[in-house]
Amino acid sequence: MHVRDLIGYLGELAENNNRAWFVMNKPRYDILRAEFLELVVRLIREIGKFDPAVADCNPKKALFRINRDIRFSHDKSPYKTYFSAAITASGLKKPSQGGGPSYYFHIDANGTLLVAGGEYMPPPARLKAIRERVIEDAAGFGKMLKNKRLKQTYGDLQEECKLKRLPKGFENAEVHPEYLKLKSFIVWTETSLKNKKPDDLAEQIVSGFRDSQPLVNWLREIPLA
């Protein structure tokens, strides 16, 4: 993966986020997209060594489209300024599809690599099931959060999306109340690729995925609807 070329392309796209520029630069996009797909193919192969459940994930379906869904957005920019993929056991990458926990990563126009694991904004029924599992398996949930590799790499679950009060139906919960307020059960870490490209990008991403596996495995114990 030519990371410098990808970051350069995405930076230019951010400054010229329109169809005319995109079409004119389509050959560049096609080459970078193919390289990104090759990276995802390798990631699935490497992840499969420690998590066989994702070994059959279709790499083409793991990639997200670069087109933005602008139907309900005030920002009408037609294209995302990052390349991204989500690797799941179910093969469904979107939370709205009920795909379950995933290994996710993206590289953006600022040269930031984000590596994540877990479930981001799951649909209401799924979120309710996760919260119920937190209570039912309070000890297991607490043990998972204390996993050494998970904690060293990610710290704690992300609190970007969090309620101010306990959700309806969980008002009297006494175990892990702060986690019951979360709308996402996910960890992520960010590193800059602009100044220092890793010797092996795939290896760095896989290492992050491996460290998020305790959370992914815990979430997998919750049956998908």
Mean pLDDT of 140-158: 97
In contact, 151 and 145? CB cutoff 8 Å: yes
Contacts of 10 by beta carbon, 8 Å cutoff, 6+ apart: 81, 82, 83, 107, 108, 109
The rounded mean pLDDT for the chain is 93
Q: What's the order of all strands across the beta sheet hosting 112-119?
A: 82-88, 102-108, 112-119, 185-192
In contact, 131 and 180? CB cutoff 8 Å: yes
User: How do residues 16-66 score in pLDDT, each as one tens digit?
Assistant: 999 999 999 999 999 999 999 999 999 999 999 999 999 999 999 999 999
User: How do residues 173-201 score in pLDDT, each as one tens digit?
Assistant: 999 999 999 999 999 999 999 877 777 99
DSSP, res 225: -
Q: Per the structure block, which two tokens stand in for 44? A: 């699935």
DSSP, res 54: G
How many Å apart are CA 206 and CA 141, to the nearest integer?
Answer: 23
Domain ranges of the chain: 3-220
Categorize the per-residue pLDDT at 74 as very low, low, confident or very high, splitting at 50, 70 and 90. confident
